[in-house]
Amino acid sequence: MVTQQSRTQSASPRSSASTLITTAVGSYAKPDYLAKARTEFSTGKISREELDKLEKQATEYWIRAQEKVGLDVLVHGEMERGDMVAYFSGEAGGNPIKGMLTGAYTMVEWSFDEHYPSRRDAVLDMAKVIRREVEELVKAGCYYIQIDEPAIHTRPDEDFDMAVESMHATVDGIEAEFHTHICYGEVEKIYPAMLRLPVKQIHLAFKNTNFDYLKLIDEFGYDDEKDLGVGVTDVHTRFLESVDEVKDGIRDTLKRLPAERLWIYPDCGLKTRTTSESEDKLRVMVDAVTDIKRELGIS
C-alpha cells in the first residue's frame, strides 16, 4: 500500500486505545444575534469591539454545545467568518481542539491570479503562507490541524502532483497531526492517488454518496498508516438521520477498516443548518457511536 511519506508527530492528546473518535468538520450555524450583528457592523451601526464580544459569545456557545453533546475533539465553529479563509483561535479549558485551514491548492483554485507566471508558482507561494498559519496554531497549543482541500479533484490529470507537493510544503517537519477534508466532487478521479497526501487522516463525505466511496476502498485498498474520517450525516438536508441509519454506515465501514482507525464526522461543515439542526445531527452521531462501541465492547 501507499505509505505516508512525511509526518512528524508530537505527543498525542488521545490515548492509543481511542476508537471511533467523534468530531466535526469546522463550521457551525451562526446564532441569530450574531448574524444580525455582522450585518450591523458592515453598515457601521456597531463597533468592531461589540462584534468581537458577540463572536466570542457564539464561540463559547458552540464549545459548550459540543461538550454537552459529547464530541471527543471539538472545533472552533468559525463564528468570525463566512468562508473558508480561516484563522484559528480558541480557549476551552484544555479540551482537545482541532484547527482548520484552507489548503494552498484550493486557495489558488478559487481565486483570480493576475500576478504569478504559473499556477505552480502561485500554489507553492500560497503554501508558504498557509504554513505560517499552521506554525501559529502549533505555538498556540493545537495538535490536530485540518487542511481543507475541496478543490483538489478539479484537474487531477493536469496538476494533482502539484497539490501533493503543496501539502508537503505546508506540513513537512511540523510537529502536529494533520488531517485533510475533501468534501464532495468526483473523488474517484483522485483515488488512490490521494493516499499520497502527507497527512494522518483523510475525511470524505460518505453519507451524501450513500457510502459509495467504500467501493473505492474495496477496489484499491487504503493506506495502512492513515486514519479515515467518515461522514455519517448529510449536512445538505434538514432531514435528521436515525441512530440506526448512522450505525449502519459505521458498521459497513468497519468491515473495511478497524475501529481504532476511524473518526466519525458529519459530511461537511454545518453552517448551512440551523443551530438546533446542527446539534441534533451531532447528537445522533454521538449516540450511534456510543451504541457501536457498546456492541464492540469498547468503553
pLDDT of 95: 82
pLDDT at 1 over 70: no
pLDDT at 289 over 90: yes
Third-level CATH fold of 21-30+69-296: TIM Barrel (3.20.20)
Which tens digits make up the pLDDT trace of 221-246? 999 999 999 999 999 999 999 999 99
pLDDT of 145: 95
Query: 278 is written with which cell numbers?
Result: 446542527
Residue 219 exposed, middle or buried by CB count within 10 Å (0-12, 13-18, 19+)? exposed
Q: Could you tell me which residue, 232 or 156, shows the higher pLDDT?
A: 232
CA distance 179 to 163: 15
Assign 5 a pLDDT band (cuts: 50, 70, 90): very low
Q: Give me the residue label for grid cell 456557545.
A: 61
pLDDT at 124 over 90: yes
Assign 197 a pLDDT band (cuts: 50, 70, 90): very high
Domain extent listing, the chain? 21-30+69-296
Percent of the chain with pLDDT over 90: 70
Which tens digits make up the pLDDT trace of 261-284? 999 999 999 988 999 999 999 999
CA distance 169 to 12: 22
SS3 state of residue 182: strand
Q: Across residues 243-270, what is the average pLDDT?
A: 96
Q: What strands, in cross-sheet order, belong to the sheet with 74-75?
A: 21-22, 262-265, 227-231, 201-204, 177-182, 144-148, 97-102, 74-75
Nearest residue to 37 (alpha-carbon basis) of 29, 46, 28: 46
CA distance 283 to 247: 13
Q: Give me the residue label for grid cell 456597531.
A: 46
Assign 13 a pLDDT band (cuts: 50, 70, 90): low
CA distance 56 to 76: 10
SS3 state of residue 237: coil
CA distance 224 to 265: 20
C-alpha distance from residue 9 to each of 25, 42, 102, 128, 177 (Å): 21, 42, 21, 20, 6
pLDDT of 150: 92
pLDDT of 9: 37
Nearest residue to 255 (alpha-carbon basis) of 190, 211, 210: 211
Could you tell me the end-to-end alpha-carbon distance of the chain, in angstroms, rounded to an integer? 31
pLDDT of 120: 93
Query: 94 is written with which cell numbers?
Result: 484544555
The full DSSP string for 108-140 is: HHTS--SS-SSHHHHHHHHHHHHHHHHHHHHHT
Q: Across residues 163-185, what is the average pLDDT?
A: 94
Which tens digits make up the pLDDT trace of 62-95? 999 999 999 999 988 888 865 443 333 333 344 8
User: What predicted TM-score, i.e. pTM, was given to this entire model?
Assistant: 0.82
| DSSP assignment letter at 22 | E
C-alpha distance from residue 205 to each of 68, 126, 144 (Å): 25, 26, 19
